[in-house]
A and B are shown apart, each in its own frame.
Chain A
């Protein structure tokens, strides 16, 4: 379903491309041995290289290269066996050397693709233009002193992957789905933690609008440093509306860099094309071209984890669960692992229902993640085993589940403690059936007169009489026989 915006002069389509900056998970920085730990005392993770001292030289961190290549493989992208580092020159207080080491002309990763899923169940491929490695800058602190600004270089030199998409995105929803999917892949690979709140993932959003898909792209604006998926979606909507208004009033959209202000719900000009920096890129003479071996890339590929799309497809096939459930279950590696543990050797569809239904509900309620779920996968599996061997029925299971959530006890212990074992003794059930029918002679008459739906009433009464512990199949059978 295509997304369009109705303007005064007709229908508009939006065109979006994203540049996502993802902080690489590594122990040390891209070109120095300083730690990448988040949240240290200001300037406590800074080497002389990061601080740009005279005579200091960068040395590439192999671990960061490995992470970039693994990410490239995860994005089904071309791995460039030879790439190069360039200097992007500009002056700013958070940039000690006066240049950022980045990859301009020859990135380590070339074209790739990310498949996104939309709410209507359709999928779309979003092209990846490139991924390159670059250094992060430091942080300015303006709130420490009334007159002065301070600089914290802890983040300076930390490795970032800039992942650039093709302008393939056509709606805010697609943009959101793209960032979510990208984050999911990076988290599966363990190459970026994807924490947008902490700034370890942020997006520059390029937006333009046009009258129809056959029209060439119009001038775009870049919205810098958007730090949540919700804001990415909002910013696109707001920026597209602004541009449409300009075009429709006979104006011209200027190519510029803008900022999104979520409080005011607007984008604001940061700098125009005329004020754009001339970064004077040139190959960094301190670094040799980065050369990686195909054999090494192959080895990394063999070591990749199963990625979300493959895992989803396997879940559908192996466990016979619906695509939607499979997508939900592979959203995070830990959830998928949890599910597989529960489903192993059990009714996989039932397992999926319990995980996506009751368990997710409980986690949401208590604000917990799957990692600190009060019910372990083994425990939930234990409960499903009690259902499978008919020790408990579905109704009792709900009660047992709530108890497990609260006490952390095993399902078997709870059943034992509370005496919830299902009654399969036909004698006891027959007696209860006879009693219920005797007490409801009028309803029996009505049922026999054709009021079929009263059957459920009788089942309910029998279950009630047996405190919910009767095996529902036996109750049904006994009722049918007598009625």
Chain B
């Protein structure tokens, strides 16, 4: 089936004229139509636009010299502003906002020939780890436990993108990662998710959650596909002052590179009760398996220490809400989005609009962020958190003097069921415990599926690299992927259980 192909395979097939871009796109728009009612991976679908673009892709392909992603159908997280296509951030407050501009990342993908199938679901404003806070309904993880029909969460916040890619409702998708929003859903859905170095991809035109952490990245079914997509997405953008002017290599070339002599660090702190994993559980076994694979591939496995790891989550839940409380101030109902009716004053307008427009989790984080920045609390919370963040960054700098890449679990557990959602938000935040430290330090990191747990759910391992050294994590990731031989597919996917 065309929907079973990887991006690399499809790109080759298109060039060999084995099928057309229109056929490839049609296969995907059909899959979306068949599955989205249940999976709810997309908030907005644009099949007509996609097919129109596919026709153009076919003529580009006939003319030769087509860029890498020509004719490849992708899902776009609904946090990227797309010109003329409604962009919601999965929030009621933005309402039917149709941006008159295209985010830099999606513009680059379009220039590279990609075809957009629609806008994928997410936690409201990317705040969440289970895709349970979307104003457009939850996403169903295409995977299910053996002999158990419970609906599982796809992870979050890029849960729609992860589910779409896992269910073959897109060949790849964009995600954004603030504290794990690409990597954790990738792990939950058995796909590859790559969060690049902070500053690798432009943030311009992407709706902000926490500016010092937000980073766009690819979500795909293979490491090679992630490399292909990242090559198209990355690069300097003068419109984003935090976007680095660092040359973009051909990341795909890093796939299959020899790992001989590469030093792989195993952070000791990641194996502890604090990290919400239980001794002897499957994720720890998968981690050991991963280390063994890399050792056999010629890597040197070295224990490293990241002593401030235990403070990362707490620090993250100060800094990210602080930034979000400010970033989300612009949603006031004045210039765009939904404005509350019947306001009696300006303050009343703000209160009504924002109370009705934001969901509970977003409101919680705005309140937390407002609190930690307030006079009298700033020093104790925000400033302290910034200092701890510096220490966390130093941990990584020091570790990377000894090793080239770190190997850790991506999440403490496999996907949990929607009705197992913890009541305590802090329990929910623990899902990000392995992914947050790399975010705090701006390191590139990737989740690669390596195994299934005893219930048949996918587990991912995380590779964390040096700043702007995505090539090494891609090289290691592709070796890990190959040796792990992860070929399992979810029961709910295109052409299987429509």
Give the B-binding residues of A (Cβ under 8 A): 48, 51-60, 87, 89, 91-93, 96-99, 151, 278, 280-282, 285-288
* Chain B residue, CB-CB nearest to A88: B326
Q: Pick from B335, B347, B378: contact of A51, CB below 8 A.
A: B335
User: Do B330 and A59 touch (CB < 8 A)?
Assistant: no
Q: For B334, list chain A residues within 8 Å (CB).
A: 93, 96, 151
B342-387 residues at the A interface, CB under 8 angstroms: 346-347, 350, 370, 373-375, 378, 382
User: Do A53 and B99 touch (CB < 8 A)?
Assistant: yes
Report 28 cross-chain contacts, Cβ distance below 8 Å, ordered by A residue.
Answer: A48-B100, A51-B335, A52-B335, A55-B99, A55-B101, A55-B204, A55-B205, A55-B208, A57-B204, A57-B240, A89-B325, A91-B329, A91-B332, A91-B350, A92-B346, A98-B330, A278-B374, A278-B375, A280-B325, A280-B374, A280-B378, A281-B373, A282-B373, A282-B378, A282-B382, A285-B211, A286-B240, A288-B241
Not counting A55-B205, A59-B240, A286-B240, a sample of 16 additional A-B residue pairs whose C-beta atoms are within 8 angstroms of each other reads A51-B335, A52-B330, A53-B330, A54-B99, A55-B80, A55-B203, A56-B204, A58-B241, A59-B239, A91-B332, A98-B329, A151-B334, A278-B375, A280-B375, A285-B212, A285-B323
Q: For A53, list chain B residues within 8 Å (CB).
A: 99, 101, 330, 335-336
Determine if B36 is an interface residue (Cβ-Cβ < 8 Å).
no
In angstroms, Cα B60 to Cα A240, docked, is 77
Closest chain A CB from B196 CB (angstroms): 17
Closest chain B CB from A431 CB (angstroms): 86
Q: For A91, list chain B residues within 8 Å (CB).
A: 329, 332, 346-347, 350
User: Do B87 and A54 touch (CB < 8 A)?
Assistant: yes
User: Do B241 and A286 touch (CB < 8 A)?
Assistant: yes
Give the A-binding residues of B (Cβ under 8 A): 80-81, 87, 89, 94, 97, 99-101, 103, 203-208, 210-212, 238-242, 322-323, 325-326, 329-330, 332, 334-336, 346-347, 350, 370, 373-375, 378, 382
Q: Pick from A55, A89, A93, A285: contact of B81, CB below 8 A.
A: A55
* Chain B residue, CB-CB nearest to A52: B330
Q: For B208, list chain A residues within 8 Å (CB).
A: 54-55, 286
Closest chain A CB from B40 CB (angstroms): 23
* Chain A residue, CB-CB nearest to B101: A48
In angstroms, Cα B268 to Cα A472, docked, is 106
* Chain A residue, CB-CB nearest to B87: A54
Q: For A286, list chain B residues within 8 Å (CB).
A: 208, 211, 240-242
User: Do B99 and A99 touch (CB < 8 A)?
Assistant: no
User: Do A280 and B326 touch (CB < 8 A)?
Assistant: yes
Q: Pick from B207, B326, B346, B350: contact of A282, CB below 8 A.
A: B326
The answer to whether residues A55 and B326 also contact, given A91-B332, A151-B334 and a CB cut-off of 8 A, is no
User: Do B241 and A55 touch (CB < 8 A)?
Assistant: no
Closest chain A CB from B242 CB (angstroms): 6
User: Do A98 and B332 touch (CB < 8 A)?
Assistant: yes
User: Do A98 and B374 touch (CB < 8 A)?
Assistant: no
* Chain B residue, CB-CB nearest to A140: B346
User: Do A59 and B238 touch (CB < 8 A)?
Assistant: yes
* Chain B residue, CB-CB nearest to A89: B326
In angstroms, Cα B378 to Cα A287, docked, is 20
User: Do A97 and B81 touch (CB < 8 A)?
Assistant: no
In angstroms, Cα B126 to Cα A124, docked, is 57
Q: For B346, list chain A residues within 8 Å (CB).
A: 91-93
In angstroms, Cα B451 to Cα A107, docked, is 53
Q: For A57, list chain B residues within 8 Å (CB).
A: 203-204, 239-241
Closest chain B CB from A26 CB (angstroms): 18
* Chain A residue, CB-CB nearest to B354: A91
Closest 10 CB pairs of A and B: A98-B329, A285-B211, A280-B373, A285-B212, A52-B330, A55-B205, A54-B207, A55-B81, A97-B330, A278-B375
Q: For B241, list chain A residues within 8 Å (CB).
A: 57-60, 286-288
In angstroms, Cα B242 to Cα A339, docked, is 51
User: Do B330 and A280 touch (CB < 8 A)?
Assistant: no
User: Do A54 and B212 touch (CB < 8 A)?
Assistant: no
In angstroms, Cα B79 to Cα A474, docked, is 93
User: Do A54 and B94 touch (CB < 8 A)?
Assistant: yes
* Chain B residue, CB-CB nearest to A51: B335
Q: For B375, list chain A residues within 8 Å (CB).
A: 278, 280
Closest chain B CB from A275 CB (angstroms): 13
Closest chain B CB from A115 CB (angstroms): 37
Q: For A282, list chain B residues within 8 Å (CB).
A: 322-323, 326, 373, 378, 382
